[in-house]
Chain A
Amino acid sequence: TVHTSLDVVDEKVSAMGKALVDQRELYLGLLYPTEDYKVYGYVTNSKVKFVMVVDSSNTALRDNEIRSMFRKLHNSYTDVMCNPFYNPGDRIHSRAFDNMVTSMMVQVC
């Protein structure tokens, strides 16, 4: 599901690239609704993609909340990238990042 959603991400990103070069909006919105899940997408300026899969029955999450979650995730990711000992492309082993993600999950569920 995450995988196929990348299709839509690509589509949206390329559409965005055509439309505006300096697109400030990184949040791609709902990518891909399915019967069971909603898939939200977010792409950074350097084309790092974040994908969030939410249970469809979870109606508490609105667009704005998802957006802020993505923003938080992005910030945390940036912190990880700023770590000089991190080798881009490696698996992320950052406790701070993990904690942040976990806390986000806990908050939602």
Chain B
Amino acid sequence: MEPPEEPLRPVIYTMENKPIVTCAGDQNLFASVYPTLSQQLPREPMEWRRSYGRAPKMIHLESNFVQFKEELLPKEGNKALLTFPFLHIYWTECCDTEVYKATLKDDITKWQNVLKAHSSVDWLIVVVESDAKKKNKTNILPRTSIVDKIRNDFCNKQSDRCVVLCDPLKDSSRTQESWNAFLTKLRTLLLMSFTKNLGKFEDDMRTLREKRTEPGWSFCEYFMVQEELAFVFEMLQQFEDALVQYDELDALFSQYVVNFGAGDGANWLTFFCQSVKSWNGLILRKPIDMEKRELIQSQEATLLDLRSYLFSRQCTLLIFLQRPWEVSQRALELLHNCVQELKLLEVSVPPGALDCWVFLSCLEVLQRIEGCCDRAQIDSNISHTVGLWSYATEKLKSLGYLCGLVSENGPNSEDLNRTVDLLAGLGAERPETAKTAQSPYKKLKEALSSVEAFEKHYLDLSHATIEMYTSIGRIRSAKLVGKDLAEFYMRKKSPQKAEVYLQNALKNYVAEGWALPITHTRKQLAECQKHLGQIENYLQTSSLLASDTHLTEDERKHFCQEILNFANEQKESPGLKVVLSMHSFAQLKHLHFDPSNALVHVGGTLSIEITLLSQMPISVQVEQIAVSVHFSIEKNSYRKTAEWLTKHKTSNGIISFPNENSSVPFSRSSSPALELYEMYERSPSDNSLNTTGIICKNVHMLLRRQESSSSLEIPSGVTLEDGAHILKCSNVTLDPGVNKIIFRTQAKEPGTYTLRQMCTSVGQVQFVLPHIYPIVQYDVYSQDPQLKVEPLTDSLLAGIPQKVKFTVTTGYYTIKNGDSLQLSNADAMLILFHAENRAIIYSNTREKSSEASLMIQSSEKVTSVSLPMAPAYHMIEFELEVLSLPSTPTSGESDKLVNKEPQRKNKEKQKAGNCMVTLDQKVSIDCPWSIYSTIIALTFNIPFKATHSLLSAGKRKYIQVCVQNLSELGFQLSDSNLIDTGNSPDLQLVPLNTKCQKGNKARQEDPRELVGDAEPKNSIYIQHIYSKQSVFFVWELLWTKELPPSLHCHFSLDFYPASEDRSISLKPYSYEFQVENFFTLYNVKAEIFPPLGTEYCKTGSLCSLEVSITRLSDLLEVDKDEALTESDEYCTTKLMYEVVDNSSNWAVCGKSSGVISMPVTARATHKVHMEVMPLFAGYLPFPDVRLFKYLPHHSAHSTQLDADSWIENDNLSVDKNMDDQTDNSSQKSKSSSHSAASVEHKGLPMPRLQPFPSGQVFNSSTGMQILVIPSKDDHILEVSVT
């Protein structure tokens, strides 16, 4: 219990503040109850329902009970809340009505009046009852009466304002019950009072706040009022609400400052704009900084004071709320904000003062937080505090720079003055921290005291900050602090320490491609390296900077000049060469080969044009540009000839190099492109599509962690390759931008040359491009001389002059004067030459270089073509005319062979078209470059094909020769001639072509035949034969004596190409053949007679057919065969006849075939009658009558060879005999087709049929027709139109 004489100073703001409850009435009674009361009251929480929809809260109530005094009651207008008595309690023990009436009632009334006078309605009357007293007065009024009386007297409507407390000091259930009831009542009433009073207060406060636009309004006053509220909340342990009050104040103030900045200034604010004179940081160790509070109360606070105070209060509350991390966060905001606000309000601040303030504040906050948390907590929440650390570091740095503590020489007098001023502004150290060794105040003072101390403190802070950043993974921030540190080291002239930090930062920037930080860091690094004397690194960095477009032109020039200076300096002392990466110096853009296929022959010149994009800001005189070349001989045995390479290298000779983004040289453009593939997954059961997707195949490349790009930055990897092959170009000036440099080289050895490195030398500095990518190669080849002979047309035709193209590829061989090609003549091929044969010489690239005439000399065996002079790797082309003689009548040697050969070939090739007979001619050529001769085969096609046939008319015989032109050319034919090679005098061949051309026309008519203009012309008949046409020639065979069984004939024909004149005499085309068995043995004559009594044949009526077979000659050699039966000089032979009607015009009635026995004597006649019936009306051709030799089956010697040739009853091969089966050979070749069909008959002894050679049977009724008229009752007339 507070002593009654407690000093009522309203300014004791400690945490022990409790709401005040006054007590009136029986003080002794209260004193006896108080211990229990003060103990019991906060035990149970109470729900506090609040106005304005604020959430209800559970509160543990505590109270400060003081004796009632009238002074305690607030005066009108006093806003002090802390000292406000929230509840007034009147205690009484009275149980006697008399006493009540005498004293108590008056007392209570008086008390009530006082309360009323102060319009206080929160009161409570407690009546304490005790059994002890009751016992004494058992007979008097029941105890309730006093309570009732009091209730009646005072609590006219609020009956709950009177509470009975029974036996408070006893320990009984009843006592407990009454205590509980009382406490509940008390709590409820207290809360009601809070609600009411606080509500009223808040309303007042709001009213005050609404007046803020009025001119006289003062923020400080309002501040005090709202803080009062905050205090109450704090008193009620409602820190949240208290914090809200401060936050509101904070926001209000901030808003004012912002408005001020916008020109809407409040009067009171100008007060805060006074210049800052003290910057002693935040003080967070005391819950309430009374010093500052008083300043605010007296309206003397500066902005910093106000902010400091406000924050210290917020900080206190946040720590109560166990939210220290919010403190750090808010601290950072506050510090930034204050700096901004001071700027905005244009408050004059001595230089460095703010830095001091911020620094002190940061450390203060950090120490405060450390003070209330343990180590582990701090470590796990570095991310919240690290900002403060880095801020403090930054500020200390700027202080250091300001006070000259960073320079090498230490602070000068001006710096010292400034330091003194700053320290003065700090004031004296606070008593609270005076004992702590590490107080922010002491730290700052010490740091500013000397250069060494500053360095120590600064390094401590920096390292701590970097460490913290690193530990929470803010690498980039760490690098930034590191850069500051590097700067510091540079100022301290210790570049070796700075370099590490710069390199680290640079690595980081480069990896992430931040162009501007790269530039900036590089600049620092360059300076650092210069100090360190790392020449190579410095030059490399300089070159990078010189090419950096983010720098100004002047700076770039400066760095470029640095390089050039160095290069020139070192000229005198050779030996020291600095190798740098070319990357920054210049970029390779294009490369252009000439010749464009990057292919040269040995000894040829190759020029390479390189486009370099110089990135230097000024022109650079380059002593030498060299490209080292790697030489490799082709491994595979495939010889790269010019043709082959030309085919395969179709590029235009320009190779472009990937364009790096010059502004961000190391951006991710270098990373490989995504290789995406579609992916389908089908279910194995029904092949339906399960999943599809895209697969990136080079994930491992793309997702690889980007390592430090050391290869680019550190030129250690740049080494000069010493190759034997180097392309050089000296004294070149590289202007900024695009430059073209041309290298020329003479190809020496064949093989593949790969460009590897490019090196640019400026004095002693060499810029090296370590790899040229994509791979650039050129090939040097060596080629053997070659001769190629090919016909000009698709195929060569024999018999006429044909042009053949000779192509000499010289290769490495140079054709000298007198070199010639020696062509050994083939027998059947002539080489024709004219006076002016011209050879054209082409260069390697198929450009025509010159023309020369060709000398051709021909001896008996050898034709020599002297070649014109030509350099190596050229081509000479010329044409020669050759003439191949058609089928050569070398001797009488087997004409059959000549005939058979083409025929078989014809057969083979017939399917593929009408092919020509070919002749191969071989020429061997001796070349000057080779001891071996080249054999060249030329294939000639014979343009004609001749066939012959024997025609008969009774006994008269004719020979027809058909010449077919197979070539594409048209020819003129003349001098057709047929002679008998047997030269028998009694044989005569009379040409029907020349003499009776017109009379024979009927004979020559043939669907395929075209008789050209066969006009006589100087007794030479020239006929044109066009491509794919045939011409027929006919001779009559006249004989005087008996005929030989066979006849050898030779047909010859002159021909010329139709397009050319006949200036050259050409060998005639010749054709040899043999005719056998041409003498007519039998004459078959068929006659059809209409039925007796009628004039014409009628359809449907039988007519009689009479076939008469007449033997025309006596026994001849040819008759001597198996069919002949001889008896007493009387010979007969067996013949079989057959009547066949192929066109089914006739119906043969009865036997259509039969065997007859024919006497072998002249004019022996055999007649056969049979019945035929015409089936159609009109002129019907006679049915065919065929005659066969009937050979009875004989002994073994009619072997399979014969068996093959006999012919069955069908008409298949018999028909064809008319056309071409003139000789046995063809029959034999045909017979093979029947062998399959005749297999079944082979074993059976059956008579055989043998057809006569076509010349032996003459059918005199061939082609005869007979008129058949329709039968009368036949009304149907069939008309067939064909």
Contact = CB atoms under 8 A, between A and B. Distances in A.
A33 B344 contact: no
Contact of B383 (A11, A56, A89): A11
Interface in B328-342: 332-333, 336, 339-340
Contacts of A7: 469, 473-477
A59 B332 CA distance: 17
Interface string A1-38: 00110111011000000000000000000000111000
A4 B517 CA distance: 11
B261 A35 contact: no
B480 A59 contact: no
Interface in B834-860: none
A11 B339 contact: no
Contacts of A35: 336, 339-340, 391
Contact of A11 (B261, B336, B340, B473): B473
Nearest to B354: A35
- Scoring B343, B476, B661, B663 by chain A CB atoms within 10 A of each residue's CB, the highest score goes to B476
A14 to B, nearest CB: 9
A57 B344 CA distance: 8
Dominant SS among interface residues on chain B: helix
Interface residues of A, number: 15
Nearest to A37: B336
Contacts of A34: 336
B669 interface: yes
Given A3-B480, A3-B509, A57 B340 contact: yes
B680 interface: no
B643 to A, nearest CB: 40
A80 B820 CA distance: 73
A71 to B, nearest CB: 25
B514 A3 contact: yes
B473 A89 contact: no
A4 B469 CA distance: 11
A4 to B, nearest CB: 4
A73 B473 CA distance: 29
A95 interface: no
Contact of B336 (A3, A6, A56, A89): A56
A83 B339 CA distance: 45
Nearest to A7: B474
A3 B476 contact: yes
A91 interface: yes
B668 interface: yes
B258 interface: yes
Interface in B343-388: 343-344, 383
B57 to A, nearest CB: 29
Nearest to A59: B258
Nearest to A56: B340
Nearest to B358: A35
Interface string A78-100: 00000000000101000000000
Contacts of A59: 258, 261
B344 A11 contact: no
A33 B332 contact: yes
Contacts of A10: 473
Interface in B453-484: 469, 472-477, 479-480
A59 B479 CA distance: 30
Given A3-B480, A7-B477, A10-B473, A89 B344 contact: no
Contact of A33 (B261, B336, B512, B669): B336
Contacts of A4: 474, 476-477, 479-480
A7 B336 CA distance: 20
A92 to B, nearest CB: 13
B1001 to A, nearest CB: 80
Contacts of A89: 667-669
A8 B387 CA distance: 11
A33 to B, nearest CB: 5
B480 A91 contact: no
Contact of A3 (B258, B344, B383, B517): B517
A89 B336 CA distance: 36
Contacts of B339: 35
Contacts of B664: 91
Nearest to B663: A91
A91 B661 contact: yes
Given A7-B473, A35-B391, A57-B344, 10 more contacts: A3-B476, A4-B476, A4-B479, A4-B480, A6-B476, A7-B475, A7-B477, A35-B339, A56-B340, A59-B261
Interface of B: 258, 261, 332-333, 336, 339-340, 343-344, 383, 391, 469, 472-477, 479-480, 509, 512, 514, 517, 661, 663-664, 667-669
The 8 closest A-B pairs by CB, nearest first: A7-B474, A4-B477, A4-B476, A7-B476, A59-B258, A4-B480, A7-B477, A56-B340
10 contacts: A3-B517, A4-B476, A4-B477, A11-B472, A11-B473, A35-B339, A35-B391, A56-B340, A89-B669, A91-B661
Interface of A: 3-4, 6-8, 10-11, 33-35, 56-57, 59, 89, 91
